[in-house]
Amino acid sequence: MRPIRASLWFDGTAAEAADFYCSVFPDAAITDTQRTTEAGPGEPGSVLTVAWRIGDREFVGINGGPMYTFTPAISFVAECDDQAEVDRLWDALLADGGTPSMCGWLEDRFGVSWQVVPTELFSLIQHPDAMAVMLSMVKIDLAELRRAAGVS
């Protein structure tokens, strides 16, 4: 069986989103673009689907129209090695119209939800004080979580 890949429904911005994600994440590339034919749907020659990968994860975006939109019920977790990577991804994903949420969550300008978190987060929040601190954060501050957990 081939790996399962995420399929994202866009309203005409699938190629723009794929380009954006490939610019934000290292080791990312567009792997395929399918265009609409005379048979439709949509304008012949327009992008129907675009496939890309980030590392070893595969995605496909379809320009399906306005009838479906993203919700935070599904999000992508971007685990970061350090605070510098958290900061870089956070800022990049919020660029040009994204919206920060809480606990490391944000919605990018396409409406896709992301959790931008340090890899250490999951072990640190086992400490009750660190969990309480994390729940008060918007962007994750690794140093603050370490202090709360008593980790140097």
User: Does 137 share its domain with 85?
Assistant: yes
| In the predicted structure, residue 152 carries a pLDDT above the cut 80 | no
Distances in Å between the alpha carbon of 94 and those of 65, 87, 123? 23, 11, 26
* Residue 68 in domain: no
| Residue ranges making up the domain that contains 59 | 6-63
- For the domain that residue 59 is a member of, what is the CATH number? 3.30.720.100
Please tell me the predicted confidence (pLDDT) of residue 41.
84
The distance in angstroms from the start CA to the end CA of the chain is 44
Q: How far apart are CA 1 and CA 61, in angstroms?
A: 21
Tens digit of each residue's pLDDT (9 = 90 or more) over 36-51: 999 978 899 999 999 9
State how many domains the chain has.
2
- For the domain that residue 132 is a member of, what is the CATH number? 3.10.180.10
CA 20 to chain CA mean position, Å = 11
User: Does 111 share its domain with 87?
Assistant: yes
Q: How confident is the model at residue 104 (pLDDT cuts 50, 70, 90)?
A: very high
Please tell me the predicted confidence (pLDDT) of residue 147.
97
Q: How confident is the model at residue 133 (pLDDT cuts 50, 70, 90)?
A: very high
Tens digit of each residue's pLDDT (9 = 90 or more) over 24-36: 999 999 999 999 9
* Residue 24 in domain: yes
Please state the pTM of the whole predicted model: 0.93
- Mean pLDDT for the stretch of residues 44-65: 96
Please tell me the predicted confidence (pLDDT) of residue 59.
98
